[in-house]
Amino acid sequence: MAIFIDTSTRLLVQGLTGREGGFHAFRNRDYGTNLVAGVTPGKGGTDVSGVPVFDTVSEAVAATGANTVMTFVPPPFAADAVLEAAASDGIDLIVCITEGIPAQDEARMFNYIKQTSDVALLGPNCPGVISPGKASVGIMPHEITLEGRVGVVSRSGTLTYQAVHELTTRDIGQSTCVGIGGDPVPGTSFVDCLERFQADDETEAIVLIGEIGGDAEEQAAVFISETVTKPVVAYIAGFTAPPGKKMGHAGAIISGSSGTAIAKQEALEAVGVTVVTYPTQIGEAVAALL
């Protein structure tokens, strides 16, 4: 099995006619994802390499049965694009790749979706999701993945790739790899993904990659102690980050004594999670647990 996406995924891309949107959309299609539509206002009635383009998400869903949206829209307009997708009947998942969306817009997106629908939102500022052997929605390099039974969830895109590489080089396959994004207001939390992995019969172990800033990892630790019965390996980035300085992601900043790497490590270790010191140790730690 898999979480979020599988062979039934029917992908619609907001921004398919743009350079980046088109490039990654067709990489997803080449991997095997069913790419059914694009949406670019003003370009309805055209197509890109045989994929029809519509003016609105609702038109595209009605014509193609799309159930998943990937958003490649510039930051000033991305929130409205996501809200349009969330308001369209038939959409189950939105993957927002766009980086640089204002935090107030992100909060507006988050609140609207949580209050009005059951649509899952990955991102903003995320690499997407891949279920090896089934489907890919986002910008993850599928070449390093291997179909298997370990779930991966991460705030960092590049650390997701390294974790997957460390697993694959040891012939440890992945059920689904999820990048939730590193912005202050992500649409999906560690807890959301842990709950899905716990319920997935074909996920046997979980890799969690966190970083400084916020308390998402501490919340994950509480959820793991109460609900998760599967082995978890974690890595926390940012042990040497100076307080008060943003490190890479908008949400990766230590404020006073809150959000430090050591606090996150201690919280996870206290509930039985194996926390590694370096990302290169992830594969070895998972292999030992399995």
Q: Hunting for tokens 């949406």 — which residue is that?
A: 39
Q: Are both 93 and 169 inside the same structural domain?
A: no
- The set of catalytic residues is 249
Which ranges of the chain would DSSP assign to H, the alpha helix?
Answer: 19-31, 57-64, 75-86, 103-116, 157-168, 190-199, 216-226, 261-270, 282-289
Quote the tokens at residue 157: 């895109």
For the entire predicted model, the pTM comes to 0.93
Amino acid 258: pLDDT: 54
Lowest model confidence (mean pLDDT) among 11-15, 100-104, 170-174, 271-275: 100-104
Q: Are both 176 and 283 inside the same structural domain?
A: yes
Amino acid 260: pLDDT: 83
User: What CATH number is given to the structural domain containing 196?
Assistant: 3.40.50.261
Cα gap 272→224, rounded to integer Å: 9
pLDDT tens digits for 244-277? 555 555 554 555 555 788 889 999 999 999 999 9
How many CA within 13 A on the CB side of residue 214? 22
- Asked whether residue 250 is domain-assigned, the answer is yes
Q: Are both 50 and 157 inside the same structural domain?
A: no
Average pLDDT over residues 10-38: 98
Residue 182 DSSP label: S
- Asked whether residue 223 is domain-assigned, the answer is yes
Q: Are both 106 and 157 inside the same structural domain?
A: no
pLDDT tens digits for 195-245? 999 999 999 999 999 988 788 999 999 999 999 999 999 999 866 566 655
pLDDT tens digits for 32-54? 999 999 999 999 999 999 999 99
Domain stops at, among 122, 157, 190: 122
Q: Are both 21 and 92 inside the same structural domain?
A: yes
Lowest model confidence (mean pLDDT) among 83-87, 132-136, 179-183: 179-183
Q: Are both 209 and 78 inside the same structural domain?
A: no
Q: Are both 169 and 273 inside the same structural domain?
A: yes
| Range of the structural domain that residue 31 is part of | 10-122
Structural domain count of the chain: 2
Amino acid 152: pLDDT: 98
User: What CATH number is given to the structural domain containing 101?
Assistant: 3.40.50.720
Amino acid 83: pLDDT: 97
Domain stops at, among 95, 122, 149: 122
